[in-house]
Amino acid sequence: MLAGGGDKPHDSHGGLRQAFLHARRHRHRRHHRRQRPNLSKLHLPPRQLRPPHQKLRDPAEKLFRRERPDCIISDMFYPWTADVAAELGLPRLLFNGSGYFSFCASRSVHERRTGSDDDDDVVLLSGLPHRIELLRSQVADWSTADSNFASFLKVVGESERKSYGAVMNSFDELKPDYVAQLRNTMKIKAWSVVQ
């Protein structure tokens, strides 16, 4: 939709362009020239009807159906976009604003087995390129999280697995070991915003 109506999006570093073109090659349908989307006509449903992350689903889905983009790049906290993309036969690229290290470390935290309850015990985040140790008190225990928030995080995780790949808010040279970890070890297709 960035390129709708003849606009030429500019990505001087090539990262998003590369992700976009890679996803486009995997799309099976071709569509005629699109009209510029009129975002002023989007109307949000009343706040009390839906959880906050769901408010944009209907207007965005209508826009995607009308404009037929080549792929959907959406923030990880809009997990419903993975389902909309699948319904439309489009690849969804998850946007992660925190970068490679944070993504890999959070995966390690979520996958770790619970151990001691002593807050002063040292916890090793396994499966990372470097030895990362935290105190037990510094590691989130998702089993005790608010049930709504824990359920939402589960939905976010499921949408990550449904996604074609990820666009990371980083550049490869910042944390090259974690770029390799994500792409090679975790087998997640990932592109940096800056390359």
- Distance (Å, rounded) from C-alpha 189 to C-alpha 96? 13
Count of beta carbons in the 10 Å neighbourhood of residue 38: 9
- pLDDT at position 153: 80
- Distance (Å, rounded) from C-alpha 156 to C-alpha 118? 29
- Regarding pTM above 0.85, the answer is no
- pLDDT at position 51: 63
pLDDT at 174 over 60: yes
4 versus 72: the higher-pLDDT residue is: 72
pLDDT at 3 over 90: no
pLDDT at 2 over 80: no
- pLDDT at position 109: 82
For residue 52, what pLDDT band results from cuts at 50, 70 and 90? low
Give the pLDDT confidence of 78-87 residue by residue, as tens digits. 999 999 999 9
- Distance (Å, rounded) from C-alpha 72 to C-alpha 168? 14
Q: Decide: 42 and 55 in contact? Cβ < 8 Å.
A: no
